[in-house]
A and B are shown apart, each in its own frame.
Chain A
Amino acid sequence: MSATEHGGGTLPKLRRMAEQIALNFAAIGHDDAVLATADHIYQFWDPRMKAAIFADDRGALSPIARGAIDHLAGGAHPASQTRATEFNTAHETGHSDAG
């Protein structure tokens, strides 16, 4: 099976990434998960990846992923939702993240 058949192709991968992030935040509740997913995408995705998912039809996305993309596509810059995305504020010895 080719890479494309296995979920390859950039857009399906981006959708999958967004869904995966959303699913792993789902346990903290819908509203918080939306913000955490948006925060994660904002902090870690390259502009062309963000642009591609913003331009995509979000109808098939889960509510959390869709909410996060809506939030970001509307121009919002979410506040850090987890310490993993809370950069540059802690004591200098603490900066360490490999996300």
Chain B
Amino acid sequence: MYRYDELDQAFVDARVAEFRDQTRRHLAGELSEEQFRPLRLRNGLYIQRHAPMLRIAIPYGLLSAAQLRKLADITRRYDRGFGHFTTRQNLQLNWPKLEDVPEILAELATVQMHAIQTSGNCVRNVTADHLAGIAPDEVDDPRPYCEIIRQWATLHPEFTYLPRKFKIAVTGAATDRAASEVHDVGLHLVRDASGCLGFRVLVGGGLGRAPMIGQVIREFLPREQLLAYLEAILRVYNRQGRRDNIHKARIKILVKALGIERFRELVDAEWQASREHAPRLPLEEIERVRSFFRPQPYELLTDIDVTAEREPRFQAWYRYNTRAHRVSGYRAVFVCLKSHQAVPGDMTAAQMDAVAALAERVSFGLIRATHNQNLVLADVPQRELYGVWQALELLGLAMPNIGTLTDMIACPGLDFCSLANAGTLDVARQIQERFDDLDYLYDLGEIELKISGCMNACGHHHVGHIGILGVDKHGEEWYQLTLGGSASGVTALGEVIGPSVPKHEVAATLERILEVYRGVRHEDERFLDTVRRVGVKPFKERAYAPHPAAA
């Protein structure tokens, strides 16, 4: 993984000192809350329902064992002994004290981490495919480019006060595992006809209040032009994006208002005019950063059958919670943060420590956070899988449900977030309880369930095969269901099936929807494909509980 050089370390150290001073001034009354707010936000610090919330950056989801241990240590010393992994591959602490935050950031800096630009109207943590570097279907590893973008975007003098937040995702694989089409900018690594590497560039995707799918602004951008082109996009956006209405301030609104052709013209003109002043990205710099992401020193192994003669639960875990690896004899292993006893994405300090140790033993000391709120040990020799499973089972991290209904995404919702309209965690629990039968989950097959507690869509509900959105109805929590969304393959936004349902009805409604699916599916047809084939109508007709009088 990338290691800081003197520049990176000097930068984060200066950043910690700056925030220490800003926090001191705020606590001394020299900086009002209004003045402090944009500064703390750019250091990941929100003021939430119960306490401040600190969002720690995990650039493109990659962590070393030492970093994960440090996170465990921080949650023990400054929080309540657990953290919450998010859909931007970050980690949130829900109960830190404001006055402790500078110290937490100083601790993070000792392991080459920070919380810079994890919130605020600036370029956020750049995300990537969680199988980057090991996926069999990959053109090139996206992470070096993520790291380059991270550095370029960090305290960018021109683009740190944008109209609104700005999210970039990079993928190098045929299958989009980074939801890149619902990002402000999505970058797909591709090769042109002559074999040169570059990017297909998408712009104007995003979820939130007005969900939109990104459009191609450039079919092929040479790698060396990456930063110059991003600057052109951001400059057009910074100058012309709306600032009068927070709900219309994302770049997607500007792209839609201008049309992609006009927007492309503006960006191209800006790009051409800035040639002399835009940052260059020499191939030597790309190679320098790429050298940190070389393939691991793998053993020469052959694929083996590790499931024969083993217990069914291990076989199920192998099938659902491990993935193919580019190198024979290895598998990628999901560390499941979706056990039916836990909040999706939550992890205790003890679990973090144990997974760090496991990663050191069997996966080159590296851990990845996924945008689905799980972790991945990416490079596990197949001969170790049974032992890894046993270890994870003991930790409560081996629930064999990855890719199934209960491997759901949920934002923290009303329990923690001051923006939320409705709870998500008790809805998640309700669903976990009702769908506790693994055979039933397996029969339902691949389903992406995504829950958001408000329109801001941190839970990505629009692109869930099934999406659940919490809404506030006269002070009560109700839930609106959407079907048919997807963020991989053909990206699509889900369709609302009808009126929202009260909280206690969510899991039952879901079950009725899934029964419709079981009734009309073709053999081996995924839920999403059935919805695409038959539309939402049959689901809508049966989703709502029959009125007692009519039954």
Q: Do A and B come from one complex?
A: no
Residues of B bordering A, CB below 8 Å: none
